[in-house]
Amino acid sequence: MTQDLTTEQPIRLHRAPAAPDAAPNARWKVADIEALFALPLTELVFRAQTVHREHFDPAEVELATLLSIKTGGCPEDCGYCPQSVHYDTGVEAGKLMDSDAVRQAAEAAKAAGATRFCMGAAWRAPKDRDIEKVAELVREVKSIGLEACCTLGMLSEQQALTLKDAGLDYYNHNLDTAPEAYGRIITTRDYQDRLDTLDHVRKAGMSVCCGGIVGMGESRAERAALIAQLANLDPYPESVPINELVQVEGTPLAGTEKIDPFEFVRTIAVARITMPTARVRLSAGRQQMDEAMQALCFVAGANSIFYGEKLLTTGNPDVERDRALLTRLGMKARHSLQG
């Protein structure tokens, strides 16, 4: 059944969401971002590609491999997520992976050509003893010469410092959607909680990886408001994943009307224009996109993909297919950082 999320009730936020244009000096007004969305696609993509070339080699794509280091059993109720205990999706809860297994996966990712290794855990917020264990995993990943990224849920200031000390380069924590759409998707943590974690990550000196999901039934105005939130962070994130919802049977968002592919391309282009030096990441959802669509996303300014046959619990194109795609497009992977 198709769910119309734009009319769904109730909004159960504990606190008022941050107003998109609350800061008088906000770099980006939602209305200006909506105006970008409204441009002819050819004009929008041209502008995005022009900005892209000012900061990046347009032929280069970053390859980042994801590993679910702790799967399932999450107490949060994110309506898109197969790992929530609230939904019957067939994902089984597991324990935190040990360092040998993580090292093996990271070595394989490096051998396949990835430069970034992202470890994800289905936690609302890690306990301090979890952070000590993850810090050990970060040291392993760094010791083999990969950039390390983690996404573990909400972090305290001290936890962020511990991860920074272990060598963590990026922390991924998404705003997911616009403040005004947020309460339709998640009720167990609020927008401000996410902003607080981003603040802790910044203060600890790590790079921020923060983006969202489109195709959750949001309106264009809400997509523009999400981009405004991201672009007005000070500084804006170094890395911006744009995910297309992967619909998983059993989650409340399964059955949502699919987003128009060109609207997805527009979202990538608008992210590129508003966050010129960020890596814009064509993230979840590539398995449901054809190759022409992925190529159009690169033209619109995406320059990072998840590389490897699995995201966290769902599928992703396999490495041979992605290599063949880059070859066909005459594009290349970003070089390894060390050797």
Scan residues 171-230 and list those touching ligand SAM (CB under 6 A).
173-174, 176, 213
Which residue among the candidates 281, 286, 297, 334 is catalytic per the annotation? 281
- Say if residue 235 is preceded by a cis peptide, omega within 30 of 0: yes
CB atoms within 10 A of CB 2: 9
Concerning whether 210 is annotated as a catalytic residue, the answer is no
State how far the Cα of 273 lies from the Cα of 138, in Å rounded to an integer. 32
By CB under 6 A, residue 76 contacts ligand SF4? yes
Closest by Cα among 177, 153, 175 to 163: 153
Per-residue x/- mask for ligand SAM, residues 286 to 325, rule CB under 6 A? --------------------------x-------------
**CB of 317: closest distance to ligand SF4 in angstroms?**
22
Q: List the single partner that 313 binds among ligand SAM, ligand SF4, ligand DTB, none, CB under 5 to 8 Å by kind.
A: ligand DTB
The H-assigned helical ranges of the chain are 30-37, 41-55, 99-112, 128-143, 157-166, 179-182, 191-203, 220-231, 261-274, 291-299, 319-329
**CB of 84: closest distance to ligand SF4 in angstroms?**
4
- Say if residue 20 is preceded by a cis peptide, omega within 30 of 0: no
- Give the interface size with ligand SAM as a residue count (CB under 6 A): 18
Scan residues 165-204 and list those touching ligand DTB (CB under 6 A).
172, 174
CA distance to 88, 164, 290, per residue, from 312 (Å): 17, 23, 21
By CB under 6 A, residue 211 contacts ligand DTB? yes
Concerning whether 149 is annotated as a catalytic residue, the answer is yes
Structure tokens that stand for 243 in this block? 């995910």
By CB under 6 A, residue 74 contacts ligand SF4? yes
By CB under 6 A, residue 177 contacts ligand SF4? no
By CB under 6 A, residue 120 contacts ligand SAM? yes
Closest by Cα among 64, 80, 72 to 246: 80
Scan residues 5-64 and list those touching ligand DTB (CB under 6 A).
none
Scan residues 46-105 and list those touching ligand SAM (CB under 6 A).
74, 80-81
Q: Is the Cα torsion angle 108, 84, 135, 196 positive or negative in sign?
A: positive
Question: By CB neighbour count within 10 A (0-12 exposed, 13-18 middle, 19+ buried), where does 335 fall?
Answer: exposed
Cβ atoms of residues 172 and 151 within 8 Å: yes
Interface residues with ligand SAM (CB under 6 A) are 74, 80-81, 120, 122-123, 151, 153, 173-174, 176, 213, 243, 245-246, 248, 284, 312
Q: By the criterion CB under 6 A, which residues form the site for ligand DTB?
A: 66, 82, 118, 120, 151, 172, 174, 211, 241, 243, 246, 283-284, 311-314
List residues with catalytic annotation.
Answer: 74, 78, 81, 118, 149, 209, 281
